[in-house]
Amino acid sequence: MKKRHYLTMIAAVMLTGLSMAQAQNPECMTNLSIYVEHAKVKNYDAAYEPWKMVYETCPDINRANFLYGERILEHKIDKSTGAEKDGYIKDLLSLYDNSLKYFPTKYSKAGVAIDKALKMYDEKMASDEQLFDMLDKAFKEDRANFKNPKALYLYFSTLVDLHGAGKKDLQDVFDTYDDVTEKIEEENKEVTDALVKILEKEDAGTALTAKEKKAKSVYETNSESFGKVASSVDAKLGALADCDNLIPLYEKNYDAKKGDIKWVKSAVGRMFSKECTDDPMFRKLFEAQLALDPSADAYVYGGVLKQKSGDMSGAIADFNKAVELESDSYKKSNILYKIATTVRRSSKSQARSYALKAIDANPANGKAYLLIANLYAGSANDCGESAFEKRAIYWKAAEMARKAGRVDPALSGDANKAAASYDAKAPTKEMIFSSGMAGQTISFSCWVGGSVKVPNL
């Protein structure tokens, strides 16, 4: 349930007014005052009876019945066992339903379904089928409000388990995976877009307000949460999306699905991401997509096929065509990143160029920063004359990795690991001391260019 605002008793009395229930039972206001005061200091046992009286008699008198009611019942659940505990759980599930009934503008269908499903999951009160059906219904009927990271994972996880039990098709798993990952990306985009604006102000040297500092912390935490659930969803999918599973499935369904652009685009995209592009099925699906929807992504895949055939100039032409066709800056950034990952084997500098364009299109594209960091680290032996200078490139790589986690906290785990790995390969304090280079600047004459300042001891 949403717990953003905690109502004081005085504000509740002044703003709520008298409901029909209150007029019929003036005890409601008295008991409302009593239980709110107890609940505010977390004395939930004392709050229970007066809350119960108000909730059962005047449920719509104040939203506090639900905000504090949830906490009161959670406390009673934690402190009870057996049938008594089951009764409190039943009351809490009913409370969730009634929150939407009495305050429909403050609660959502998805939010209520999520609260109930998570509670039932935590208390081991529902089967995988029941949990999946609840969450699937909520996702499809109220996708906009389906934002809880834990619920997104549970939704997908139960489906994979049902597939493992032979109760759901593999195609259902892939379809839901697409929906869930798209939703995670949408939510993280909203968070990182807001975070980047604050970071730009901070980087410009302007002091953040207390409100902005708090918002920054919230955005970072939320983005990290979405990053963790994205990794968990990918891990849960695991080997189900390997080429050995994808190719037979798409061969089986191709004739029936080749006119379904959503299915075709999903199939091509998945084969591309799993590097199944050498199989003839990839070309078959790509040509189907090109016929149905010659969009930006189609030209990316066409470029990959040309690249594999040795036609690099044709591949670059297709890649650039893909960028021209896409008007949405976020999608354009993702396309530029795809291109960067594709050309990295043939040209590190070209890969960096596309990665930087991806960052220009979306400053929160942490994946592009991580790619550049990896490109730098992979060039250690190519940059610098001495062993010290060669290892100095790792400082530059670590700097880029840290930027990735800063602009997109969803990647902070991978970014921090990468930065730590690069720092470990950079010159040690002993090497800096022996070289006499502390505080000096090292310039790179290789494709990396630029420079790095050696840390002071």
Burial class (CB in 10 A: 0-12, 13-18, 19+), 334: buried
Residue 197: CA atoms inside 13 Å, Cβ hemisphere, count? 8
Q: Output the pLDDT for position 17.
A: 44
Give the length of the chain. 457
The predicted structure's pLDDT at residue 24: 53
pLDDT of residue 4: 41
pLDDT at 189: 95
Element (H, E) at 268: helix 261-273
Which stretches of the chain score pLDDT less than 50?
2-23
| CA–CA gap between residue 55 and residue 445 (Å, rounded) | 73
pLDDT of residue 18: 42
List C-alpha distances in Å: 312 to 125, 218, 318, 319, 335.
Answer: 57, 45, 10, 10, 18
- Of 399, 454, 408, 410, which Cα lies nearest the Cα of 432? 454
Query: Contact at 8 Å (CB) between 40 and 69?
Result: no
Collect all residues with Cβ–Cβ distance below 8 Å to 256 and sequence separation of at least 6: none
pTM comes to: 0.85
What pLDDT is recorded for position 10? Answer: 34
Q: Which residues of 374-395 are buried (b: 16+ CB within 10 A; e: fewer)?
A: bbbbebbeebbeeebbbbbbbb
pLDDT of residue 457: 82
